[in-house]
Amino acid sequence: MPIIEKISSEAIINLENKYGAHNYHPLPVVLNRGEGVYVWDVDGKKYYDFLSAYSAVNQGHCHPKIVGAMVNQAQTLTLTSRAFYNDKLGPYEEFVTKFFGFDKVLPMNTGAEAVETALKLCRKWAYEVKGIAEHEAQIIVCENNFHGRTTTIISFSNDENARKNFGPFTAGFIKIPYNDIDALEKVLATSKNIAGFLVEPIQGEAGVYTPSDDYMMKAKNLCNANNVLFIADEIQTGIARTGSLLAVCGNCSCENKCERQETYATPDILILGKALSGGAYPVSAVLANDAIMNVIKPGQHGSTFGGNPIAAAVAIAALEVVDEENLIQNARFLGKLFRSKLNEYIQTSSIATLVRGRGLLNAIVINDTEESDTAWNICMALRDNGLLAKPTHGNIIRFAPPLVMNEEQLLDCVSIIITTLKAFEK
Ligand SMILES: *Cc1c(COP(=O)(O)O)cnc(C)c1O
């Protein structure tokens, strides 16, 4: 591109500042190309992507199979709305339900919409199947949850920044501490009209807060015993990210789809998004069996773009890539290697105190206060050293590369991370 036409990073950032709402605080790097585990900035500098768009790009940037499916479908038929049938939705619905082992799917676009859909489905089931009196249904959620940004979802967030001056809020939610099975047991025993329990198998936004291995299974069993729907938000943790197809599989030894493993807790309602399209297109889904999903009748819920032919074609390709390229096994193997290398370093580190996570969803805790800018400064230095990551909560940095990474690349990244951290030691 001729120099004259090329806009500098600074100019592009200024455009966003001037014309865009300031609802994000991006790391100052302007990307214009991605391939596999790499992204490039406008000056041609290459980086390892260690965020993967919050785990949407599990299959790697611009995966040729996924892009191919998208381009093909875009040239054929893009949108019919659900007023008519299209020839891609039915085959996708069969594919995705068999892939995850449910009777039915309700297709949406973004993660937050799928969470909203799950909440509506849970409430409707509570009134029409469980027999709770209208307007009385309660859904249990966890402290420090992140489920998206709609008014109802932020109603049960405890992130003041996400809530302040956005009220009034939606009623009907009870908050309990995360990873506290006694708290769940107690609220189920003492509260009336409980319809569901909505939970992240690992709290990604909260800082990759990883619960004990049996938390999901015990929570599911308690829900079962109380006729309460166990709703898993796997938007960030699902689709191979944590070294199993779903993170509700826990830390079992099975290397594929873990239905028969001891720690596996089949959700009554499963929420997927992000990597369901490999980051190519907004595709989300709510999965459940007939006894639950059949409470939704024509006209009661919908979305103009939900289940459109491009989304259907892209999602099939994205899930096929997960199997064809063994992303579950790769995430599991590289995750163990990553944590063991970082743990080795942390033994003697004065700047990093902890690494935690499962598969390739990990975080390190920086030895400074949540209010400090140390983690941000480390991310700036990582950027300068060719690796992009971002703090989640003040002093926590999430590390979530695309799952198509190989061992050599991962070791290269470990070396960049450790070298960078060492420069911050006192
Ligand atoms: C990203 C995310 C969401 C929201 O998805 P959007 O597509 O941003 O609306 C919900 N839940 C979890 C766990 C997420 O990580």
End-to-end CA distance of the chain: 44
Which residue has a Cα nearest atom 8 of ligand 1? 111
Determine the average pLDDT of the residues in 307-313.
Answer: 98
Three-state SS for 176?
strand
Centroid of ligand 1 to alpha carbon of 357 (angstroms): 18
Q: Which residues pair with 233 in a beta bridge?
A: 271
Q: What's the pLDDT score for residue 264?
A: 65
Centroid of ligand 1 to alpha carbon of 55 (angstroms): 10
H/E segment holding residue 323: helix 309-324
List Cβ neighbours of 21 (8 Å cut-off, separation of 6 or more).
none
pLDDT of residue 257 exceeding 80, the answer is no
Q: Give the tokens for residue 250.
A: 């826990």
**Which amino acid belongs to residue 76?**
T
Which residue has a Cα nearest atom 5 of ligand 1? 111
Centroid of ligand 1 to alpha carbon of 104 (angstroms): 21
DSSP states of 70-136: HHHHHTT-----TTS--TTHHHHHHHHHHHHT-SEEEEESSHHHHHHHHHHHHHHHIIIII-PPTT-
What pLDDT digit, counting tens, does each position of 75-134 carry?
999 999 999 999 999 999 999 999 999 999 999 999 999 999 999 999 999 999 999 999
Three-state SS for 140?
strand
Residue environment code for 39-68, b if the CB has 16+ CB neighbours within 10 A, otherwise e: bebbeeeebbbbbbbbbbbbbbbbbeebee
**Phi/psi of residue 291, nearest 5 degrees:** -60, -25
Atom number in ligand 1 closest to CA 149: 9
What pLDDT digit, counting tens, does each position of 143-177 carry?
999 999 999 999 999 999 999 999 999 999 999 99
The residue length of the chain stands at: 426
Ligand 1 site residues, Cβ closer than 6 angstroms: 54, 110-112, 115, 146-148, 200, 204, 233, 235-236, 273-274
- Which residue in 129, 128, 157 sits closest to 143, CA to CA? 157
Calpha distance 146→161 (Å, rounded): 12
Determine the average pLDDT of the residues in 278-305.
Answer: 98
Instruction: Count helices and strands (H / E) in the chain.
Output: 14, 15
Centroid of ligand 1 to alpha carbon of 180 (angstroms): 23
List Cβ neighbours of 135 (8 Å cut-off, separation of 6 or more).
none
The residues annotated with a catalytic role in the active site are 146, 233, 274
